[in-house]
Structure 1
Amino acid sequence: MTSPAAASRRIRRPAWAGRNYSLLTASAVVTSLGSNGALIAAAFAVLESGGDSGDVGLVAAARTLPLVLFLLIGGALADRLPRHRVMVAANALNCVSQAAFAVLVLTGHPQLWQMMLLSALCGTGQAFFSPASEGMLLSSVDGEEAGRAFALYRMAMNGSGIGGAALGGALIAAVGPGWVLAVDAAAFAVAGSLRAFLDVSHIPPREPGGGMLADLREGWQEFIGRPWLWSIVLQFAVVNAVIGAAEAVYGPLVARDSLGGPGPWGLALAAFGAGTVGGALIMIRWKPRRLLLTGTLCVFSLALPSAALAVPVPFGALVGVMFFSGVLVETFGVSWMTALHQEIPEEKFSRVSAYDWLGSLAMLPLATALAGPAENAFGRTASLWGCAGLVVLLTAAVLCVPDVRNLRRRPAAATADRTVAAPAGPVDALGSADAEGPAGRLG
Structure 2
Amino acid sequence: MADPADPPAAPSVLRDVAFLRLWAGTTASGLATWALPFVLGLAVLHRELGPAGLGLVLAARTAGFLAAVAVGGVLADRHSRRAVVLWSALAAAAAAPLLAAGLGRSVLLMTCAAALAGAGQGACRPAFQALTAEVVAPEGRQQANAAMTLAVRGSTLAGPALTALLAAFLDVWTLLLGIGLLWLVAALVPGRGSGAPSAAPQAGQRASFRAEFVDGIREARRHPWFLAGLAALTAVIALGYSATSVALPLISRDRYGTEWVLAAAVTAYTLGALGGALVIARWRPRAQGWAAFAGLAAYGFAPLSLVLPLHPAAVIAAYAVAGIGIELFNVPWFTATQREVAPDKLARVSSLDFLVSYGLAPVGLALIAPAITAFGVTPVLAVCAAVCFAAPAAAALVPTARHFARTPAAAD
Q: TM-score range by the shorter chain?
A: 0.7 to 0.9
SS of structure 2 residue aligned to 1:204: coil
Counterpart position of 1:7: none
Distance 1:222 1:143, change over 3 A: same
Distance 1:345 1:167, change over 3 A: same
Work out which structure has the larger RCO, using CA pairs closer than 8 Å and 6 or more positions apart in sequence.
1
Counterpart position of 1:401: 398
Counterpart CA distance in 2 for 1:184 and 1:247 is 29
Distance 1:98 1:371, change over 3 A: farther
Please show how residues 34-433 of structure 1 align to structure 2 within 5 Å: 34-40=32-38, 51=51, 61-101=59-99, 107=104, 117-167=112-162, 183-195=178-190, 198-200=191-193, 202-204=195-197, 206=199, 207-208=201-202, 209-211=205-207, 212-246=209-243, 268-308=265-305, 317-379=314-376, 382-407=379-404, 424=406, 427=407, 430-431=410-411
Gaps of 5+ in 2: 1-10
Counterpart CA distance in 2 for 1:319 and 1:67 is 31
Superposed CA offset, 1:381-404 (max 9, x none): 554444333322322221221321
Superposed CA offset, 1:65-84 (max 9, x none): 34333322211111112212
Normalising by structure 1, report the TM-score: 0.74
CA RMSD of aligned residues (A): 3.9
Amino acid at match of 2:145: F
Per-residue deviation at 1:335? 0.8
Amino acid at match of 1:162: L
Per-residue deviation at 1:319? 4.0
Superposed CA offset, 1:186-210 (max 9, x none): 4223322323xx1246442544243
Counterpart CA distance in 2 for 1:399 and 1:205 is 32
8 Å CA contact 1:57–1:248 kept in 2: the answer is no
Distance 1:267 1:101, change over 3 A: farther
Gaps of 5+ in 1: 1-12, 409-423, 433-443
Distance 1:216 1:84, change over 3 A: same
8 Å CA contact 1:238–1:390 kept in 2: the answer is yes
Percent identity over the alignment? 27
Distance 1:318 1:115, change over 3 A: farther
Distance 1:278 1:260, change over 3 A: same
8 Å CA contact 2:12–2:140 kept in 1: the answer is no
Counterpart CA distance in 2 for 1:176 and 1:268 is 30
Normalising by structure 2, report the TM-score: 0.79
Counterpart CA distance in 2 for 1:14 and 1:400 is 34
8 Å CA contact 2:92–2:120 kept in 1: the answer is yes
SS of structure 2 residue aligned to 1:402: coil
Distance 1:15 1:260, change over 3 A: closer
8 Å CA contact 1:27–1:191 kept in 2: the answer is yes
Distance 1:42 1:291, change over 3 A: farther
8 Å CA contact 1:169–1:266 kept in 2: the answer is no
